Structure 1
Amino acid sequence: MTDHAIFAPRAGLVARGVDWVIRHPRMFTFLMILPIVLWLGIVYIGALIALLMQSFFSIDEFSGVVQHEFTLKTYAELLRPSNFDIIVRTVVMAGSVTLASAVLAFPIAYFAARYAKGKWKALFYIGVMLPLWSSYLVKVYAWKLVLAKEGILNWVFAKLHLTWALDGILSLPVIGGNSLSVSYLGTFIVFVYIWLPYMIIPVQASLERVPGPLLEAASDLGATPRQSFRMVLFPLALPGIVAGSIFTFSLTLGDYIIPQIIGSGRLFIGQAVYTQQGTAGNIPLAAAFTVVPIVLMGFYLWGARKMGAFDAL
């Protein structure tokens, strides 16, 4: 009687069905999350499973036809020096970008969390988020012009009579090149610039949770600023740093546009996947390359969860 008093029966099959769903909250919740479950289960997870299956196939070296037979031959190809160098190169770059982003983000986030108030904090958020509002490709190509041999950065070094220092850096065997725009150093600079906001925000959120009186108490007990940072501030901010590193590390692992536009001709994992799937037509090897970041990020996320990084997201 109560249900009928609140929900007066309506004519029509659809209307009755809607009324029945409303009267059953569990069914209503199930229908609300069903599209998300179908998307994740079929489109996302299904695509990953199909990708994983492709990686266990191989390609005939003579005909170029994919052999749909279970084998680990494709994964063995990842251990070839040329392919293994691609993996090591990408992981080292991702780790370097993550470390540099954390070092640069921490003082910025600390200032915003401890000293910025009111409109200054709003200005901080706008300043951090503003680069994300512009086109990704526009930013990369802009850096291509900045880092070019005729770019503004070379002009600044020339005006400061520091061209010798830039030439010395570019002459280094691993990170150097003809100019910053065709060197690993240039690739590193652009990676850090593009992904830095993804590190600043989690670190700033983590630092805001650190009670101010806690640092004052450490000082009152005789701790030096360095000791307060090492024993109080850094451990409490570490989950935010790890949370930010999830973004910087994973995005660098999978990116192929920045190394394609800026840097030397040596491939990263993203470029290898693009090349093997497109030009070379070796889909199993492309799938095997794609599995590498998935496995690495799986272990990385497991470690980040243990450190409580997800609480700072």
Structure 2
Amino acid sequence: MSAAAEAIRPPRDGTLGRLSDFLWRRPGLFLLLMLTPPLLWLGIIYVGSLFALLLQSFFSIDEFSGLIRHEFTLKTYAELLRPSNFDIIVRTVSMAAVVTLAAGVIALPIAYYAARYARGRWKAAFYLAVMLPLWSSYLVKVYAWKLILAKEGILNWLFAKLHLTWALEALLAIPVIGGNSLSVSYIGTFLVFVYVWLPFMILPMQAALERVPGNLIEASADLGAGTGQTFRHVVFPLALPGIIAGSIFTFSLTLGDYIIPQIVGSSRLFIGQAVYAHQGTAGNIPLAAAFTVVPIVIMGFYLWVAKRQGAFDAL
């Protein structure tokens, strides 16, 4: 230890004291030791499992024995292009996109009010109202919506009391998205998705809107811009990174979820359900892995676009 170092921290006795002095003189080594456990966890458990999953997707199932053939092939990925499998991908991506768009439209006025006008107790009430649904059980919320949307549920009762049953029946009669009731239709699946993931859209959006300088809004008004013009040309472009950040959560969570479509909705599969079915009952692990790679690739491209838009600054 140098004289300057000794003047700052005299050498200490004991094994732990000498070890502490040794690491204090070598901050780079100390940082490496601190980062090694989480990096090992990330590299082995997380990245390693993803690599194993990717590797499985390049295998195939023997059509006669039903066993996995550990030979490199793109046959499993070609199976994703079959009409039945490709429909699952299109259905899942379409639902994720619609849910993300709807959540953004609903969240924007809520986040704008909280960022620009809510103060003190009202702001605390806002955070409580947004966070409170996240504190309850995920399954409890989904099953509660199953009862709400059922034929005997409160929503059907409300439509009957308002003499709007005809409107609900007309909505359920729409091909593809309709069904016997809201609880067994894509409309019901959409409503539950929006409810469950809406907080993940509101919070990043509200954080981004709070960063919009108030003097820019005042300057826009001083220059003669109306409320709509100020929002389109000042507020929205500056809040766009937060909107994209919220859409990352909403889109990815919808893309990979399999519980909500299994409880609320029709019998048509989503990607998560397809992975569960092929991994479990069907025993086609390579096809399940290939299905899993699809949202990884989609989200990889989505994150690349989001990064170029500066969305990570609002996370």
What range describes the TM-score normalised by the shorter chain of this pair? over 0.9
TM-fit CA distance, 1:186: 0.2
The answer to whether residue 292 in structure 2 is matched with residue 293 in structure 1 is no
Partner of 1:220: 222
Shift of 1:153: 0.3
Where does 1:170-249 land on structure 2 (aligned, <5 Å)?
170-249=172-251
Stretches (4+) displaced over 3 A: 1-5, 14-19
Provide the C-alpha distance between the structure 1 equivalents of 2:171 and 2:215, rounded to a whole number of angstroms: 45
SS in 1 for 2:233: helix
Q: Distance in 1 between matches of 2:294 and 2:10?
A: 55
**Equivalent position of 2:156 in the other structure:** 154
1:127 aligns to what? 129
Alignment of 1:58-207 (within 5 A): 58-207=60-209
Match of 2:133, SS? helix
How much does 1:223 deviate? 1.7
CA RMSD in angstroms, aligned pairs only:
1.2
Q: TM-score, normalised by structure 1?
A: 0.97
* Alpha-carbon offset, residue 197 of structure 1: 0.2
SS in 1 for 2:108: helix
For residues 80 and 228 of structure 1, the distance between their equivalents in structure 2, rounded to whole angstroms, comes to: 48
Q: Distance in 1 between the 2:82 and 2:50 partners? A: 24
Letter in 2 for 1:275: A
Name the structure 2 match of 1:264.
266
Question: How many residue pairs align between the two structures?
Answer: 312
- CA shift, 1:18, in A, is 3.8
| Aligned counterpart for 1:307 among listed residues 287, 306, 309 | 309
Q: CA deviation at 1:214?
A: 1.3
Residue segments in structure 2 that go unaligned for 5+ positions in a row: none
Distance (whole Å) between structure 1 residues aligned to residue 172 and residue 61 of structure 2: 40
Alignment counterpart, residue 279 of structure 2, candidates 277, 280, 290: 277
Q: What amino acid is aligned across from residue 86 of structure 1 in structure 2?
A: I
Q: Quote the offset at 1:10 in angstroms.
A: 2.4
**One-letter code of the match for 1:152?**
I
Deviates most, 191-200 or 230-239: 230-239
Distance apart, 1:9 and its partner CA: 3.7
Cα pair 2:11 2:18 within 8 Å, conserved: no
1:3: how far off?
A: 4.1
